[in-house]
Amino acid sequence: MLTDQEVDKQIEHMKSFIEKEAQEKAEEILAKAEEEFNIERGRLFQQEKLKIMSYFERKEKQIEMQRKIQRSNLLNQARIATLKAQDDHIQRIMEETRVRLGDIRKNESKYKEMLKGLLTQGMCQLLEPEVQVSCRKDDVKLLQSIIKSSCSAYKEATGKECTVQITESFLPDDCAGGMDLYTQKGKIKVTNTLESRLELLGGQMLPEMRTMLCGRNPNRRFLD
């Protein structure tokens, strides 16, 4: 039979064993909890890192897209400004040429030959037996002097006869020269003034003029 001291000693021993086992268990639980915490913290860190990287990648792509759009807009604005400057320059040249058209009349022999060509061409366009012509009042006599030769040239070209009558409805005094031709009581009209010829020629030569004045467009692939 155990004495009281031996019982107390056994009890103390059991208490120490239980406390030690509890302490070890607690440390094991804490270690496991720490490990799980570190794993979860690493997982969340990686997850948030990927979210942040994805966010900044999207932002970078958006910024790059905006940069490209802005660059494209600036290039388009520059092209438009360049084209406008080119067109303004060409229009100034055309206007200067238009102002100087009247100088053609100073050389009467050349102007007379030009009137003959314009009259003959207009008659060939109309192909009518009777044509009425409107010209500047100052050009009436000059036009009268070339009607016969123009009719002969017309007949030689078409094999047809044509009579030409100068109307009293004159072109404005500020008209550079040339004529308007009518037939069928004014229903059909051919404009052969110097201004109209300049406009026609300017339209046909616009690409060539643009190249001469401003250089060849590097973006143009075909020349014809």
pTM: 0.56
Over range 172-192, report the average pLDDT: 89
Residue 215 inside a domain? The answer is no
pLDDT single digits (tens) 149-166:
999 999 999 999 999 999
Total domain count, the chain: 2
Residue 211 inside a domain? The answer is no
> Which structural domain, as residue segments, surrounds residue 138?
107-206
**pLDDT confidence of residue 167:** 92
C-beta separation of 112 from 144 below 8 A: no
Q: What is the distance between the alpha carbons of residues 132 and 146, in angstroms, rounded to a whole number?
A: 14
Asked whether the predicted pLDDT for residue 43 surpasses 70, the reply is: yes
72 and 36 in one domain?
yes
Asked whether the predicted pLDDT for residue 218 surpasses 60, the reply is: no
Residue 220 inside a domain? The answer is no
Q: 132 forms bridges with which residues in the sheet?
A: 165, 182
2 and 48 in one domain?
yes
